[in-house]
Homo-oligomer: A and B are copies of this chain.
């Protein structure tokens, strides 16, 4: 079944995914909605050697609506600034066009509910394009959890720990309406909000590990922020950015676990997600340095008798043993994409689930829950770290929902 795809937004992420999907014989890139000519030129360059000849909807920022109304799409993929995600997703869902939407935090709790309500009214599926859920280590560790290797889970950590200041400012260290790329809009969030504004890269994997919305749920959330020094230092201007350099968010879960999320994007540091899983039988700590098996693992049954310096093991052999079928299948094919191989695997899943008529693995309830961390953390920080209730977007359905990443197939 050939999937008719439309794209909204030809920024950095949109172009990357366009390139990947344009390689697939089972996808037709039929339309692209993007008002900036320079970005469309880049898209055309990517497609030059391919057979796809999309129509460009480039009149203005609302032209995606014409695309959705006219093109009889099977699905639309959204790569626009965060504030546009809801309206574009809603418009597509209301027109029966499935949605894959880039990750972000929600602008408000109401926004989360609107995603859910639109889905429930239209029954048009939407998937949050959280690529970190498709990481090799995440899928293998999820399987080990399923197999009981870590016992009963107790504590989990994850975060977005990535110094992205070089995309938040242009070469002249400016940001805002006059600049191009993410500095045009993303930096504004750092000015205006003290919250975990980008929760899903860290939370997605933890949610999978800990069966969130699949037997378990987040009941309460609280956050705390440090001072802000990294943004000022970087742009060499005395601007009062509201966002603390580090925002820590703790989530209490119904089964008694705590999950801790870190937002850490404006201090100098090497990238990693700092994923950690601790249970009654073992512990895994990721510290990615370029290889998805970087980190350390300790399983009581295997390692308890070793001397201290040998108790931690490399995760390598465990990942190999527990690799998901999807990584076994695609490992060679994705080598050329480097660290974006996870995007290829995620997009493959998006397409295949449509072809197979199956629900997306990351659906509207996950989307709403994960994105809700942003407004809830903001509310908590404003109230000096108060615990805030997390709504149950599934309205009780979380009890019987299945985890679609464990026993991945």
Known: A226-B154, A248-B250, A387-B385. A283 touches B268 (CB 8 A): yes
Query: Per-residue 0/1 for A231-250: is the Cβ within 8 Å of any B Cβ (1 yes, 0 no)?
Result: 00100000000000110101
B contact residues around A151 at 8 Å (CB): 229, 233
B contact residues around A304 at 8 Å (CB): 268
Give the number of times this chain occurs in the complex, counting copies. Answer: 2
B contact residues around A287 at 8 Å (CB): 285, 287, 296, 312
* Count of A interface residues, CB-CB < 8 Å: 54
Interface residues of A in 248-295 (CB under 8 A from B): 248, 250, 252, 255-258, 260, 264, 267-271, 278-283, 285, 287, 289-291
**A308 interface residue, CB < 8 Å from B?**
yes
B contact residues around A364 at 8 Å (CB): none
B contact residues around A245 at 8 Å (CB): 154-155
B contact residues around A271 at 8 Å (CB): 308
**A357 interface residue, CB < 8 Å from B?**
no
B contact residues around A296 at 8 Å (CB): 287
**A171 interface residue, CB < 8 Å from B?**
no
B contact residues around A386 at 8 Å (CB): 386
B contact residues around A268 at 8 Å (CB): 280-283, 298, 300, 304
Complex CA gap A384/B271 in Å reads 33
**A230 interface residue, CB < 8 Å from B?**
yes
| B224 and A270 within 8 A (CB) | no
B contact residues around A154 at 8 Å (CB): 226-227, 229-230, 245-246, 267
> Which one of A151, A226, A264, A285 has the greatest number of beta carbons of chain B within 10 Å?
A226
**A170 interface residue, CB < 8 Å from B?**
no
The closest CB in chain B to the CB of A256 belongs to B227
The listed residue (B224, B250, B290) touching A258 by CB distance below 8 A is: B224
B contact residues around A309 at 8 Å (CB): 289-291
Complex CA gap A93/B233 in Å reads 49
| B312 and A270 within 8 A (CB) | yes
B contact residues around A282 at 8 Å (CB): 268
Complex CA gap A246/B155 in Å reads 7
> Which one of A255, A289, A304 has the greatest number of beta carbons of chain B within 10 Å?
A289
A278 smallest CB distance to B (angstroms): 6
A266 smallest CB distance to B (angstroms): 9
Given contact pairs A155-B226, A227-B257, a sample of 6 additional A-B residue pairs in the complex whose CB atoms are under 8 Å apart: A155-B264, A220-B384, A224-B250, A224-B252, A248-B260, A268-B304
Q: Which 5 residue pairs of A and B lie closest in terms of their CB atoms, listed nearest first? A: A227-B256, A290-B309, A268-B300, A270-B311, A155-B246
Contact sample, A vs B, 28 pairs, CB 8 Å cutoff: A151-B233, A154-B227, A155-B226, A155-B245, A222-B222, A224-B250, A224-B258, A225-B258, A226-B256, A226-B257, A227-B255, A227-B256, A246-B278, A248-B250, A248-B260, A264-B278, A268-B300, A268-B304, A269-B283, A270-B298, A270-B303, A270-B311, A270-B312, A271-B308, A285-B287, A289-B308, A290-B308, A385-B387
